[in-house]
Amino acid sequence: MKIIHKKRKRVYELHLKLEHIKYLIDQYDNTHSSQMTEDEDDVEEEEEEEEGEVDDD
């Protein structure tokens, strides 16, 4: 019986850690989402410039 209790306790601890990691990921995504959209716009502008350079050759 003690082994089962220890396993359940361990599963519960791991579950809490997983939930905490999910929370941290969500917080990170929320704080950096505006920066990511700005970076994506910069990438699109660079790709357009590169395409123009290829067409000139």
Whole-number Å distance between alpha carbons of 57 and 47: 16
Token pair in block for residue 1? 């019986």
Q: Structure tokens of 25?
A: 């990921």
pTM of the model: 0.50
27-17-6 Cα angle (round to 5) = 170
Query: According to the model, what pLDDT value does residue 57 have?
Result: 46
pLDDT, tens digit, for every residue of 16-52? Answer: 999 999 999 999 999 888 665 555 656 666 666 666 5
Distance CA 35, CA 47 (A): 19
Q: What is the pLDDT of residue 23?
A: 97
- Higher pLDDT residue, 1 or 4? 4
Q: Report which secondary-structure segment, H or E, holds 24.
A: helix 2-56
